[in-house]
Amino acid sequence: MKNKAQSLVKMYTATGEFLGVFIPPELWGQIKAPVQEAVERLTPPQAVKEPLADLELLKQHWDFQYPVDTDVQCKICGAETPDWAADDPRKFLLKAASLGGLVSYECQTCKARVKKMHFKREICVECVPCPAKACK
């Protein structure tokens, strides 16, 4: 026979709505690992959303005097790629793209922001360290 320390306790509101289950610490210590595995299996991490539609719009209206560029370099940590979208896992995540030509990426190594400003004849690149690191 189970004692109270080994039993799950279902919890309800005053109106009878099921809230969830309380797991006593003694029992949690025994079932923690398989429960966490089950939760991870049932709730896969959501894919990171990148503003790819904004980038596509920029490509469709591309009127710069050079082809669409795919290379990204981080001047902060030295990470680089010839084609950011082809990397698996990604070295850089697209964070923003505007019709004006500003495209920014987040370096996955040091979290710096790499901003590529597309002008008519040239691309200017600016790297800004992660705000949390800049404060150290």
Residues lying near Zn ion in the complex (CB under 5 A) are found at: 74, 76-77, 79, 107, 109-110, 112
Between 58 and 112, name the residue whose CB sits nearer to Zn ion: 112
Q: Rounded to the nearest whole angstrom, what is the least distance from the CB of residue 121 to Zn ion in the complex? A: 27
**Would you say 57 or 130 has its CB closer to Zn ion?**
130
Inter-residue contact 114 to 74 (CB < 8 Å) = yes
3-state SS track over 49-103: CCCHHHHHHHHHCCCCCCCCCCCEECCCCCCEECCHHHCCCCCEEEEEECCCCEE
Length of the chain: 136
Nearest distance in Å: CB 88, Zn ion = 18
Is the CB of 27 or the CB of 85 nearer to Zn ion? 85
Distance of CA 28 to the CA centre of its chain: 30
Q: Provide the token pair at 55.
A: 């980038």
Least distance to Zn ion from the beta carbon of 129, Å? Answer: 8
Q: How far is the CB of 74 from Zn ion (least distance, A)?
A: 3
